Amino acid sequence: EVQLLESGGGLVQPGGSLRLSCAASGFTFSSYAMSWVRQAPGKGLEWVSIVTHNGDRAYYADSVKGRFTLSRDNSKNTLSLQVNSLRADDTAVYYCAKSGANYFDSWGQGTLVTVSS
């Protein structure tokens, strides 16, 4: 059974940073692209970033480009999202998702990031 467990969310001041992590199990992690998708309170889904199976390329939404960095450690089955220069509109639940051909076939339970002073 695929399991994705996010961690690292919390309350942070505007301009601050966090590191979100996703621990994966139940599948061959190194064979799949992995993504983050976020959802602001009461709003729809927004794709944030995706990294290729071997970590050689990552793509970002324009709204986070230059502020967020996605990486993975295939030896530890872990995905990490470094989020810097946080703004109020980054407040959201952040979901880690297993990406089959750039759609999302398994999701974690999410971690809440709240940006507020």
Partner 1 sequence: DIQMTQSPSTLSASVGDRVTITCRASQSVSNWLAWYQQKPGKAPKLLIYKASSLQSAVPSRFSGSGSGTEFTLTISSLQSDDFATYYCQQYNSYPLTFGGGTKVEIK
Binding of partner 1 by 110 (CB under 8 A)? yes
- Binds partner 1 (CB under 8 A): choice among 21, 23, 27, 59: 59
Backbone conformation region of residue 110, classed left if phi is above 0, alpha if psi is from -120 to 50, else beta: left
Fill in the per-residue mask, 61 to 80: x = in contact with partner 1 (CB under 8 A), - = not in contact: xx------------------
The interface region with partner 1, picked from 15-23, 53-61, 66-74, 78-86 by CB under 8 A, is 53-61
Told to check if 102 binds partner 1 by CB under 8 A, we report yes
98, 96, 91, 81: which is closest to 113 by C-alpha? 91
The CA distances from residue 86 to 13, 23, 96, 113, in Å, are 8, 23, 19, 10
- HSE-CB for 107 with a 13 A CA cutoff: 14
If one asks whether residue 95 binds partner 1 (CB under 8 A), the answer comes out as: yes
108 lies in the site for partner 1, by CB under 8 A: yes
> Contacts with partner 1 in 33-52 (CB under 8 A)?
35, 37, 44-47, 50
Residue 89, interface with partner 1 (CB under 8 A)?
no
Which residue in 104, 111, 113, 115 binds partner 1 (CB under 8 A)?
104
* Cβ within 8 Å of residue 90, ≥6 positions away: 38, 64, 83, 113, 115
* Contacting positions for partner 1 (CB under 8 A): 35, 37, 44-47, 50, 59-62, 95, 100-110
